Amino acid sequence: MKDVNLNRLFQKFGGGGHAKAASATARLSDENEASTLLQGLVDELIDTSLLKQPTVGDFMTAPVLSAKPTMNEKQVEDLFTRYDVRALPVVDDNNDVIGLVTYKEVAAAKQ
């Protein structure tokens, strides 16, 4: 919910303030209005935040950095260091994923 602008959201309910620390005070003519007001607030939060969460596709790395099963420890370690990653998919000649190699596995293999 870090993308929710509380100021804009609460303005609809008579409140406002900072985008990350807004507030609203509702004056109700009877307590039955509270349910409607709260449901509107929850619906708005769902519409503005929960349904618009970023997906992995929004921040993934492409093209995929990968290792080949024929690479030696030094070559894979160089990829880890150069690209600041701690795991790599291992792909065959058809670029099908056949495994995963981690930094810890390479370090253990060197000992």
3-class DSSP state of 99? strand
> What pLDDT is attached to residue 76?
96
pLDDT above 60: residue 29: yes
pLDDT above 90: residue 105: yes
Average pLDDT of the residues in 37-58: 77
Query: Higher confidence at residue 102 or residue 36?
Result: 102
- For the question of whether the overall pTM of this predicted structure is more than 0.85, the answer is no
> What pLDDT is attached to residue 103?
94
> What pLDDT is attached to residue 59?
82
Dihedral class, residue 10 (left if φ above 0, else alpha if ψ from -120 to 50, else beta): alpha
